[in-house]
Chains A and B, each alone.
Chain A
Amino acid sequence: MSEVISASALRELMRDWLRQGKQVFGPRQVKPGLVLYTRLTDPEQLLVSGFIHPSNSPKEFVFPRHEVIYSYRFEGKDLQLLDAPDSFPEQIVLAVRPCDAAALPILDKLFNWDFQDEFYNRRRQATTVVTLACLSHDDSCFCTSVGLGPADPRGSDAMLLPAQDDEFEVRPFTEKGEASFSGVTRTSSKQAGTPSGPAKKFDAGQVRTYLSENFEGPIWHDETLHCLGCGACAYTCPTCHCFDIVDEGNAAGGIRAKNWDSCQFPIFSLHASGHNPRSTQPQRQRQRLTHKFQIYPEKFGDILCTGCGNCTRNCPVNLGVLNVLEAMKNGQPL
Chain B
Amino acid sequence: MKNIYKPDPMEVLEVRRQTPDVKSVKIRFREKEKNQNFSFRVGQFGCFSAFGYGESTFNICSSSNWKDHLEFCFRKTGKVTEALWRIEEGDTVGFRGPYGNSYPVEQWEGRNLIFVGGGIAMPPIRCAIWYVLENRARYGDISVVYGARTVADLAFADELEQWARYDRVRVVRCVDPGGETSDWKGEVGFVPAVLERSQISAGNSIALVIGPPIMIKYTLPVLDKMGLAPNDIYTSLENRMKCGLGKCGRCNVGPAYVCKEGPVFTMEQIRHLPADF
Q: Which residue of A lies closest to B247 (CB)?
A: A110
Q: Give which listed residue, B55, B90, B250, contacts A268 with CB less than 8 A.
A: B250
A291 on interface, CB distance cutoff 8 Å: yes
Q: B246 and A242: CB pair below 8 A?
A: no
Question: For the side of the interface on B, what is the size category?
Answer: 35 or more
Specify the chain B residue showing the minimal Cβ separation from A79.
Answer: B92
- Are B276 and A277 within 8 A (Cβ)? yes
> A113 contacts which chain B residues (CB < 8 A)?
246
Tell me which of B1, B91, B250, B276 contacts A242 (CB under 8 A). B250
1/0 per residue, CB under 8 A from A, across B128-149: the answer is 0000000000000000000000
Residues of A near B1 (CB, < 8 A) are: 83, 86, 118, 122
Chain A residues numbered 229-288 whose CB sits less than 8 Å from any CB in chain B = 241-247, 249-254, 256, 258, 261, 263, 268-273, 275, 277-278, 287
Judged by a CB distance under 8 angstroms, whether A111 is at the interface is: yes
Of the residues B2, B81, B240, contact of A118 by C-beta under 8 Å:
B2
- Chain B proximity mask over A57-96: 1 for CB below 8 Å, otherwise 0: 0000000000001101010011101011010000000000
| B252 part of interface (Cβ distance < 8 Å) | yes
A194 at the interface (CB under 8 A from B): no
In the complex, whether A114 has a CB less than 8 A from a CB of chain B is: yes
Q: Is A299 an interface residue (CB 8 A)?
A: yes
Report chain B residues within 8 Å CB of A246.
Answer: 54
State whether B247 touches A298 (Cβ < 8 A): no
Question: B54, B92, B250 — which one has the most chain A CB atoms within 10 A of its CB?
Answer: B250
Of the candidates B242, B246, B275, the one whose C-beta lies within 8 Å of that of A245 is B242
B249 at the A/B interface (Cβ < 8 Å)?
yes
Which residues of chain A are within 8 angstroms of B9 by Cβ–Cβ distance? 79, 81
> Assuming A122-B1, A243-B247, A258-B5, is B53 touching A295 (CB within 8 A)?
no
Contacts of B178 in A (CB 8 A): none
A74→B245 CA distance, assembly (Å): 27
Contact A77 B90 (CB under 8 A): yes
The residue on B at minimum CB distance from A244 is B242
Cβ–Cβ contact B274 & A215, under 8 A: yes
CB-CB < 8 A to A290: which residues of B? 254
Given the interface pairs A114-B260, A263-B249, A294-B255, the reply to whether A69 lies near B6 with Cβ below 8 Å is yes
Fill in one digit per residue for B189-207: 1 if any A CB lies within 8 Å of its CB, else 0.
Answer: 0000000000000000000
Q: Determine if A209 is an interface residue (Cβ-Cβ < 8 Å).
A: no
Given A215-B275, A272-B77, CB of A263 within 8 Å of CB of B250: yes
User: Does A243 contact B249, Cβ atoms closer than 8 Å?
Assistant: yes
Shortest CB distance A214–B (Å): 10
Specify the chain B residue showing the minimal Cβ separation from A256: B5
Residue from B243, B245, B254 within 8 A of A215 (CB atoms): B254
* A117 part of interface (Cβ distance < 8 Å): yes
Instruction: Select the residue from A115, A271, A298 with max chain B CB neighbours within 10 A.
Output: A115
Q: Is A116 an interface residue (CB 8 A)?
A: yes
Complex Cα distance, B5 from A86, in Å, reads 13
Q: Are A270 and B52 in contact (CB under 8 A)?
A: no
Q: Would you list which residues of chain B between 18 and 76 have a CB under 8 Å from chain A?
A: 30, 49, 51-56, 75
Given contacts A81-B9, A118-B1, A242-B248, is CB(A298)–CB(B255) below 8 Å? yes
- CB-based nearest A residue for B261: A299
The answer to whether A245 touches B54 (Cβ under 8 A) is: yes
**Residue picked from B91, B92, B275, most chain A C-beta under 10 Å:** B92
Asked if B184 is at the interface of the complex by the 8 Å CB criterion, the answer is no
Evaluate contact between A247 and B51: CB separation under 8 angstroms.
yes
**Chain A hits for B92, CB < 8 A:** 77-79
Complexed CA–CA distance, A154 and B91 (Å): 50
Given the known interface contacts A271-B240, A290-B254, the answer about A114 and B246 at a Cβ–Cβ threshold of 8 Å is yes
Given contact pairs A117-B247, A277-B253, A298-B255, a sample of 11 additional A-B residue pairs in the complex whose CB atoms are under 8 Å apart = A72-B51, A74-B51, A79-B51, A83-B1, A83-B6, A118-B1, A244-B248, A247-B51, A247-B53, A268-B240, A269-B239
Can you list 25 A-B pairs with a CB-CB distance of less than 8 A? A69-B6, A72-B52, A77-B92, A79-B92, A83-B3, A86-B1, A86-B3, A111-B247, A118-B3, A241-B247, A242-B248, A242-B250, A243-B242, A243-B243, A245-B55, A245-B248, A246-B54, A247-B55, A261-B249, A263-B250, A268-B240, A272-B56, A287-B252, A291-B252, A298-B255
Residues of B within 8 A of A (CB): 1-7, 9, 30, 49, 51-56, 75, 77-78, 81, 90-92, 212-213, 238-240, 242-243, 245-255, 260, 274-277
